Amino acid sequence: MVELLFLGTSAGIPTAKRHSSGTAIKKDDKLYLIDCGGPVCSQLKKMNEDPKNIEAVFITHWHPDHAGGLPILIQDLQLSGRTKSLTIYGPKGTDRKVKLLQNIFIIPQEIYNFELKTKEYDEKTVYSDESIDFRFFKTRHLSDDYWKQLDAKHNFEIDPVAYGFMVQFDGKKIVFSGDLLNSDDLIPVLPGAELVIHEFGHINPNLLRTFTRKHDIPKLIINHIHHDWDSRDQELKEVISAEFQGEVHIAHDLWRTTI
């Protein structure tokens, strides 16, 4: 059995009912963490899951609502006695940024009993762990000239790049959008996907409805909810579901669902 655990479902502004981004895939008692923007350890514990069972961490991009929870995750694993190594996978700049976090937050490698590794991925990277695979695709979030100019201004140390993921297991394929410029970023990776987890922090609901109808997506989970829609789940579901034959769900914190 494979489960999705939604730990944080807000977009850039957390709300009283939604923490910043964090989702875990649970397979064979292993947790694969996608983004770490909020208090993922507290959320996992509320769901009776042990953060020490995190097998790998995958960061879509380095905005704080997607990566800001990494220091407390590292400290939690240090203080709870983890011994198994942990790898944080992220886009270009991840090696340097994790080392900076370790120094800034006084959590250097020497004080914990597990090895913290980093690996920078690109579109050619494949993560394979027994019966689950992660593949990575670039989105156009952060890709415009404005971000390129800012990166140059800051000696190319911002690394403004964002990705989404394709995850395959047991003959199934799911697409995790990451942050997007628009839904068309997903078109190349949709074939064969039976579930799409689509962000709603930067997307117009009517455009999302048109996209889902056009591409005949079997099952859609809307995640990364913009704060203006924080308490409008039913309204959002009705807008997206209009004239759409697929299954639509609105994610919420601490929701566990079987794939």
Give pLDDT tens digits for 33-81.
999 998 999 999 999 999 999 999 999 999 999 999 999 999 999 999 9
Question: 18 φ, ψ to 5°?
Answer: -135, 130
The token pair at 184 is: 């068309």
Give the model confidence (pLDDT) of 185-235 as tens digits: 999 999 999 999 999 999 999 999 999 989 989 999 999 999 999 999 999
Q: Is the pLDDT of residue 242 over 90?
A: no
Helices (H), 6-128: 40-46, 64-67, 70-79, 94-104
Q: Which residues contact 49 (CB under 8 A, 6 or more apart)?
A: 5, 24, 26, 31
For residue 102, give the nearest of 90, 91, 111, 93 by alpha carbon. 111
- 28, 29, 50, 65: the catalytic one is 65
Region of residue 219 (phi > 0: left; psi between -120 and 50: alpha; otherwise: beta): beta
Fold adopted by 2-258: Metallo-beta-lactamase; Chain A (3.60.15)
Give the model confidence (pLDDT) of 207-217 as tens digits: 999 999 899 89
- Quote the radius of gyration of the chain (alpha carbons, Å): 18
pTM for this model (two decimals): 0.97
Domains of the chain by residue range: 2-258
Which pLDDT belongs to residue 169? 96
| Whether residue 65 lies in the annotated active site | yes
The token pair at 170 is: 């047991």
The token pair at 131 is: 């019966």
Exposure b/e, 14-45, CB count within 10 A at least 16 = b: beeebbbbbbbbbbeeebbbbbbbbbbbebbe
Helices (H), 162-221: 205-215
Confidence of residue 130 (pLDDT cuts 50, 70, 90): confident
Chain-wide mean pLDDT for the chain?
96
Which pLDDT belongs to residue 72? 97
For residue 36, give the nearest of 5, 14, 8 by alpha carbon. 8
